[in-house]
């Protein structure tokens, strides 16, 4: 067994870093455009890191890349981008508005927000279903309802309404 064939990167490090960076940032942008509901219970960055790291690490383990180091460099690059974007979003709130999803108002003062529903491809029946899961049968009982960044719906009931 030739250890250099397994452990030494077969591609230039800069090329691997650029490939990992372009892949991560492109997918981050595309998933951000897809909307909050599509990412499920994970945050967008969490989902992206899990998928890309699994792919990069898996390729290194199964031999799809030439060496383990290729997969490790890609994995480290993607985790690094995740940390850098989270740190930048924490440090600069304006940047956070670009890379981090914000809660979107689905209901305000008992009225459905059809613009947000269209943007997130949510039908009225889906919103009503979410209300029922919270024990609410009528949107007029809702002060505010938000589609949260993790894809869940949070509800603030009107005063005096039991939920």
Residues 25-53 pLDDT 10s: 887 777 676 655 545 555 666 777 777 77
User: Are 134 and 128 a contacting pair, CB within 8 Å?
Assistant: no
Cβ neighbourhood burial of 3 (10 Å; 0-12, 13-18, 19+): exposed
CA dist 154 → 2, 44, 85, 116, 147 (Å): 56, 18, 26, 15, 7
Q: Is the torsion defined by CA of 81, 85, 82, 38 positive or negative?
A: negative
- List of domains in the chain: 3-99 (no CATH), 104-157 (3.30.240.20)
What's this model's pTM, rounded to 2 decimal places? 0.59
Average pLDDT over residues 146-158: 89
Residue 126 and residue 129: Cα distance in Å, rounded? 5
User: Are 37 and 148 a contacting pair, CB within 8 Å?
Assistant: no
**pLDDT tens-digit map of 71-126:** 778 778 878 888 898 899 999 999 998 888 889 999 999 999 999 999 988 999 99
């Amino acid at each position: 067994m030739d250890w250099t064939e397994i452990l030494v990167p077969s591609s230039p490090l800069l090329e691997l870093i650029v490939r990992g960076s372009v892949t991560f940032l492109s997918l981050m942008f595309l998933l951000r455009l897809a909307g909050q509901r599509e990412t499920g219970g994970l945050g967008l960055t969490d989902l992206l890191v899990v998928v890309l790291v699994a792919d990069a690490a898996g390729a290194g383990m199964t031999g799809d890349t030439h060496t383990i180091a290729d997969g490790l460099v890609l994995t480290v690059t993607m985790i690094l981008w995740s940390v850098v974007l989270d740190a930048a979003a924490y440090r600069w709130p304006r940047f956070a508005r670009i890379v981090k999803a914000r809660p979107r108002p689905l209901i305000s003062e008992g009225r459905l927000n059809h613009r947000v529903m269209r943007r997130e491809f949510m039908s009225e029946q889906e919103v009503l279903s979410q209300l029922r899961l919270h024990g609410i049968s009528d949107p007029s009982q809702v002060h505010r309802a938000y589609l949260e960044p993790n894809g869940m719906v949070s509800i603030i009931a009107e005063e005096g309404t039991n939920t």
